[in-house]
Amino acid sequence: MDSKQHIAIFTTASLPWMTGTAVNPLFRVAYLTKGREFKVTLVIPWLSLKDQELVYPNKITFKSPSEQEAYVRQWLGERTGFVCDFSIKFYPGKFSRDKRSILVVGDITEIIPDEEADIAVLEEPEHLTWYHHGKRWKTKFHLVLGIVHTNYLEYVRREKNGRLQAFLLKYINNWVVDIYCHKVIRLSAATQDLPRSIICNVHGVNPKFLEIGKRKNEHQQNGDRAFTKGAYYIGKMVWSKGYKELLKLLHDNQKELTGLEVDLYGNGEDSDQVQGAAKKLELDVRVYPGHDHADPLFHDYKVFLNPSTTDVLCTTTAEALAMGKIVVCANHPSNDFFKQFTNCRTYQDSSGFVKETLKALSEEPAQLTDAQMHELSWDAATERFLQAAGLDHVVERKPTDTPPKKFMSMTMNLRKNMDDASAYVHHVASGIEASRRVFGAIPGSLQPDEEQRQELGWAFPTGGQG
């Protein structure tokens, strides 16, 4: 038997979709294999061509999972600079236009063989288990860890009948996470409290951003002007990603911010509306298509404006700090981790935004210390993850001892029976039309269709699709 612990990391998105649940689990996998005794598998969604065309940017599509895997590995290798020894497996997914999310199709616990089912990490555990139809995760794996990325309640509140939907979703999230996870890591206190959860930032930044920050430090030490541009913001161009808040702040304070220039970068469903709103302002607010944040285009900007309150932990904020920039952001739980950095300036209200923005534009950023750079790195994030998950010491592969006391045994059996009953109720409820209306589930999501099975090289089950 392989003596290494097996860690399977399941996530809800994949490159080339540049979203947090595609990028961060990929770096987590890489750094878990860097000098550590783990065997790691990354499990990501495979989309049929029609969904790829809806989701992936710049008309990038793949004919086969192996082609997409090559793309993912090349992207990662160019950014880490070291060889990453891990496996990639695909599960069938379908894109929900309504929820702008990829939803799981079928029982994805089957992706991992039983003999390798040691530890499962569910990146977005609620999302992955809303419609889970198969074996209970806790039964399949010795340890199941959830990492909460997204503040779904905040997004739902902004929809029609948002308060009612958020009320229902809060309890369903608690229910499914309690059923399927032994422990949950919340990236910040911006998410709902969940059973057996702790708050810990287990994300780092792409090493390229730290390299940019080091070069900026050298410029500043040599007395050169390190930053020659003003303020900017980058993010997926949908209203809920901070654009609504930013444009309102600029609109409400045009007199106080006279002469301010701001560049906005992003692609998304609300691009035309964002551009239209920007044109109505008296300020010089320019809107451009999205680019990779590491692109030289962004290196010389001095101030990153990010008023978003829907993020759990904003990746672009961490990247901007790593590049040595000043960040002006809301005094919100999602930004608590960033408050330790000198270049992070938070504001409480509209007047505070004006004050901090003007002050940031008039000053030079503080130089990043070695300790701050380490804190932002994936090396530090991986150390925090292992400690928070309890994996910084040896974990037994399978339980070997029975509880020493009859009472303990009875309690464990009672808990297991309750979990089994809850899991059964959820298995039934996930197929009911009412729950589909709450989440926007896709019809036919119990089993992958014939096209996806062929693309994944899976045999088609006897007796139809189910």
Integer angstrom CA distances of residue 166 from 130, 155, 171, 193, 319 = 14, 9, 9, 14, 30
Integer angstrom CA distances of residue 403 from 6, 139, 179, 397, 414 = 25, 18, 22, 17, 14
Q: What is the pLDDT of residues 265-278, one digit of tens each?
A: 998 889 999 999 99
Compute the radius of gyration of the chain from its Cα atoms: 23
Is the pLDDT at 426 greater than 80? The verdict is: no
Is the pLDDT at 11 greater than 80? The verdict is: yes
Q: Which residue has the higher pLDDT, 441 or 223?
A: 223
Q: Give the torsion sign (CA, 328, 330, 333, 339).
A: positive
Q: What is the pLDDT of residues 134-165, one digit of tens each?
A: 788 999 999 999 999 988 877 788 778 888 88
The answer for residues whose C-beta is within 8 angstroms of residue 350's C-beta and 6 or more apart is 249, 252, 253
Which residues lie across from 234 on neighbouring strands? Answer: 265
Q: Give the torsion sign (CA, 50, 51, 54, 56).
A: negative
Give the pLDDT of residue 432.
Answer: 38
Give the pLDDT of residue 330.
Answer: 96
Phi first, then psi: give them for residue 101, nearest 5 degrees: -140, 155
Give the pLDDT of residue 403.
Answer: 40
Mean of the per-residue pLDDT values of the chain:
87
**Domains of the chain, earliest start first:** 6-203+391-409+429-456 (3.40.50), 207-376 (3.40.50.2000)
- Residue 301 and residue 325 in contact, taking contact as beta carbons nearer than 8 Å: yes
Q: What percent of the chain has pLDDT over 90?
A: 69
| pTM (two decimals) | 0.85
Q: What is the pLDDT of residues 211-230, one digit of tens each?
A: 999 999 999 999 999 999 99
Is the pLDDT at 412 greater than 70? The verdict is: no
Pairing of strands 344-347, 326-330: parallel
Is the pLDDT at 420 greater than 70? The verdict is: no
Could you tell me the two tokens for 46?
């495979």
